Amino acid sequence: MKYFLLFSSIFIFNYNLPAQSKNVKNFAVDYANHHQFNGTILIKKDAKIIYHQSFGVAERSFNLPVKNDTKYQICSITKTFTAVLILQLMEQGKIDLDKKINTYLPSYKGESGSKVSIRQLLNHTSGMKNTDTASDANFMRYGIGFYHRPYTLEEIVDNFCSNPLINEPGEKFDYNNGEYMILGRILEIIYKKPFEQILEEQILIPLHMNNSGIINHYKLIPNLATAYYKGKDFKLIPNIPIYIEDFSSAGAMYSCTADLIKFNDALFSYQLIKQQTLNQLLTPGLDDYGYSVWIRDYKGSNQKYKRMERYGRIQGANCVWFHYLNYNVSIIILSNTNLTDLGDFASKLGKIVF
């Protein structure tokens, strides 16, 4: 009987996985067709990728299709890489999260320098006036802030991220790209290297993420999808010209699904930071936000689950990364349009997986 039960459990596992993949495939195709999805989906459960598929067009001028190795702007997923780099320094004793900005960035000009901690930058509770002032409704006419001219990260922090406080530090969540630009500049000061080089040496090269990096206007990136944006008053158009590299440590990365699952796996197997450090990153505070990610509890029909969520969007570039903490399921969706609600898509895919 013991051996029969063991055999049965193995048989059930092997039998259910293809059926589950088929259900995911059928739902994904239907949802993609009905919601104009354009991009790549990767779903991994435990040690197996159960779904990896692409839809749509990478470059509309030439009708070039999206493929599974297509690269995309990953926007604010970049912030999790920055958070990990900061936490690595914390583990090495080179950063204290409760020290203030000026401890590590003495040249910082804003009043926040002596009042805002590294921890408050990580969890978006600095209280600083937000650098992200342009709305989607106005960007066609007025552009997006300072992103229409190229700057170094030092120049960005000095000129655009030294804003006055409008809230007491630690009291209010306010999502602000400027906070992660300051963190990137602190990394540059400590390492005495550009952020891009730090990212490559500490994460991308060790994980063999050969199809990931920082976007630069003066660098040709093969196989990078063109992003397209649709507004209320106009049809789908290429993103208006901006210098994506100005988003730097807050949102300037590109990657592909196969590379991002390497980062996902390394993070959750404690290859990049220790378990207790990862627990800090995943501890929800104001707005259910930890360090660079949201952590939320959900109740399904038969179970409860805890999910890490990371979204990213710059005009038409659009992405989502979910990791179910108590089920070891990861969902990554990368897109080059804003036509589809990726959060809804990923949530519904998660329900199919379970």
Q: What is the 3-state secondary structure (H, E, C) of 150-177?
A: CCCHHHHHHHHCCCCECCCCCCCCCCCH
Evaluate whether 235 touches 228 at the Cβ level (below 8 Å).
Answer: no
Alpha carbons 242 and 244: distance in angstroms, whole number: 6
pLDDT bucket at 188, cuts 50 / 70 / 90: very high
Alpha carbons 259 and 252: distance in angstroms, whole number: 16
- Which residues are CB-contacts of 154 (< 8 A; sequence separation ≥ 6)? 185, 188
Alpha carbons 12 and 6: distance in angstroms, whole number: 10
175 vs 11, more confident: 175
C-alpha Rg value of the chain to the nearest Å: 21
Percent of the chain with pLDDT over 70: 91
Length of the chain counted residue by residue: 354
The per-residue pLDDT for 133 is 54
- Which phi and psi (to 5°) does residue 58 adopt? -85, -35
Query: How many CB atoms within 10 Å of residue 142?
Result: 11
Helix 257-268 vs helix 78-91: angle between axes, to the nearest 10 degrees?
Answer: 30
Predicted TM-score of the model (pTM)? 0.92
Average the pLDDT over 157-162 and give the result: 93
Closest Cα partner for 156 from 248, 244, 76, 79? Answer: 248
Average the pLDDT over 157-170 and give the result: 94
pLDDT bucket at 21, cuts 50 / 70 / 90: confident
Alpha carbons 331 and 52: distance in angstroms, whole number: 10
Average the pLDDT over 312-317 and give the result: 95
39 vs 109, more confident: 39
Task: Report the Cα 35 to chain-centroid distance in Å.
Answer: 22
- Which residues are CB-contacts of 324 (< 8 A; sequence separation ≥ 6)? 305, 306, 307, 308, 330, 350
Judged by DSSP in three states, 305 sits in strand
Alpha carbons 346 and 340: distance in angstroms, whole number: 11
pLDDT bucket at 14, cuts 50 / 70 / 90: very low
The per-residue pLDDT for 3 is 31
